[in-house]
């Protein structure tokens, strides 16, 4: 790509060097000739050093400063959001690896299955009865598409993905290695003798367009209805989504989060790593839940930044945390106060004893 093409793709403005050609992205520190790098804030331009990139993406209004500081950089592009511009450029310069259309000889595809034009089914993968695989979808080594599963167009199922029977994926869904969609939810009923009996897990999972789910994450099927993951949502590695959970659009969920059954996460929410959610909780749009927070069953988390266990507004969490950090000091102060009280008590008792003897 030329820098001019790069700028048009990223919505930026060429400050200089529009005809310079680039072929890859890199960090400011590691960039060499032919690479594109970015600086997110003008104030850190000075720390970029002698950048060797062929093109530097900088904040709007920082072009002149970048050219003065980084004289070795042949081209500069200004962008309102340099990191976003860099991501768009990276996607164009480093497209995902795609296999040519076809079915590998070791794959097993049911006669009743439909595999769309341009789709690829890799080594030892399998596609079940009456399953439908959309055009351009990539099913990689060892993946399993169950019976009556629907997979949309241009999806990527990485190695070892398992789609249980009856689940559905929209278009451009990416499931990384080991993702399991549609396993039974964790639901049991205890009888008077203490024996656990499985509650029916006969629902399904619906994953909408442009969802990406990280390696070894699990999305359980609904008990009687559907578990849903909304359009554009991004889920990290090792996340558990339990039965009948409703996740809205453009939600971001970081690694090792566990979401209990029938919880609702509304569109646009952000969930940090290792968050635990009790059943029937609700996270409203605009909420940001910090790492390792604990949300009690039935709790409603409103818009704002939340932290801690049980989860609370960030300002309250900070005040509480400040008090907790003072506990060792308060302990010493309490010991000193106790010592003084005991000393004063002893003096008073001594005086009272002396008056009585007189």
Catalytic positions, written as ranges: 243
The two tokens of residue 88 are 């768009």
* Contact predicate 120/134, CB 8 Å: no
Q: Which residues contact 332 (CB under 8 A, 6 or more apart)?
A: none
- Residue 144, both tokens: 């399993």
**Is-contact 261 279, C-beta < 8 A?**
yes
The answer to whether 176 touches 237, Cβ cutoff 8 Å, is: yes
Characterize the bridge pairing of strands 120-121 and 162-163: unpaired
How far apart CA 64 and CA 76 sit, in angstroms, is: 9
- Give me the helix-helix angle, 82-93 and 3-10, nearest 10°: 120
* Torsion on CA atoms 293, 299, 302, 304, rounded to nearest 10: -20
| Kind and range of the H or E run holding 34 | none
Check: CB of residue 180 under 8 Å from CB of residue 199: no
**H or E segment to which residue 136 belongs:** none
Find out whether 159 and 142 touch, Cβ atoms under 8 Å.
yes
Q: How far is CA 90 from CA 6, 38, 244, 276, in A?
A: 10, 11, 36, 34
Q: In whole angstroms, what separates CA 31 from the centre of its chain? A: 28
Q: Which residue has the tokens 């969920």?
A: 253
What are the tokens at 232? 């554009």
In sequence order, what DSSP letters do the residues of 180-215 get, joined into one string? EESPPP--EEE-TTS-EEEPP---EEEE-TT-EE-T
Helix (H, G, I), strand (E, B) or coil at 145: strand
């Amino acid at each position: 790509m030329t820098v001019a093409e790069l700028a048009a793709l990223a919505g930026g403005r060429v400050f200089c060097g529009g005809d310079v050609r680039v072929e890859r992205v890199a960090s400011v520190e590691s960039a060499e000739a032919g690479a594109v790098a970015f600086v997110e804030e003008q104030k850190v331009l000075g720390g970029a050093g002698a950048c060797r990139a062929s093109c530097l993406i900088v904040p709007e209004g920082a072009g002149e400063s970048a050219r003065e500081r980084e004289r070795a950089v042949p081209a500069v592009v200004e962008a309102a959001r340099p990191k976003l511009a860099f991501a768009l450029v990276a996607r164009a310069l480093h497209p995902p690896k795609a296999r040519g259309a076809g079915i590998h000889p070791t794959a097993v595809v049911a006669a009743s299955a439909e595999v769309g034009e341009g789709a690829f089914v890799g080594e030892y993968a399998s596609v079940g009865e009456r399953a439908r695989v959309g055009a351009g979808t990539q099913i990689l080594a060892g993946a399993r598409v169950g019976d009556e599963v629907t997979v949309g167009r241009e999806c990527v199922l990485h190695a070892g993905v398992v789609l249980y029977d009856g689940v559905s994926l929209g278009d451009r869904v990416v499931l990384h290695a080991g993702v399991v969609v549609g396993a039974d939810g964790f639901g049991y009923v205890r009888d008077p003798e203490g024996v656990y009996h499985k509650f029916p897990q006969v629902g399904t999972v619906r994953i909408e367009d442009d969802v990406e789910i990280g390696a070894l994450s699990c999305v359980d099927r609904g008990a009687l209805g559907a578990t849903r993951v909304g359009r554009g949502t991004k889920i990290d590695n090792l996340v558990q989504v339990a039965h009948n959970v409703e996740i809205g659009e453009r939600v971001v969920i970081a690694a090792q989060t566990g979401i209990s059954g029938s919880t609702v996460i509304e569109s646009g929410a952000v969930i940090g790593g290792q968050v635990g959610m009790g059943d029937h909780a609700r996270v409203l749009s605009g909420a940001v839940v910090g790492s390792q927070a604990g949300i009690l069953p039935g709790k409603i988390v409103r818009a704002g930044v939340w932290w801690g266990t049980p989860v609370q507004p960030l300002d309250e969490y900070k005040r509480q945390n400040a008090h907790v950090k003072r506990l060792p000091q308060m302990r010493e102060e309490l010991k000193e106060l106790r010592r003084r009280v005991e000393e004063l008590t002893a003096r008073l008792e001594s005086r009272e004893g002396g008056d009585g003897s007189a």
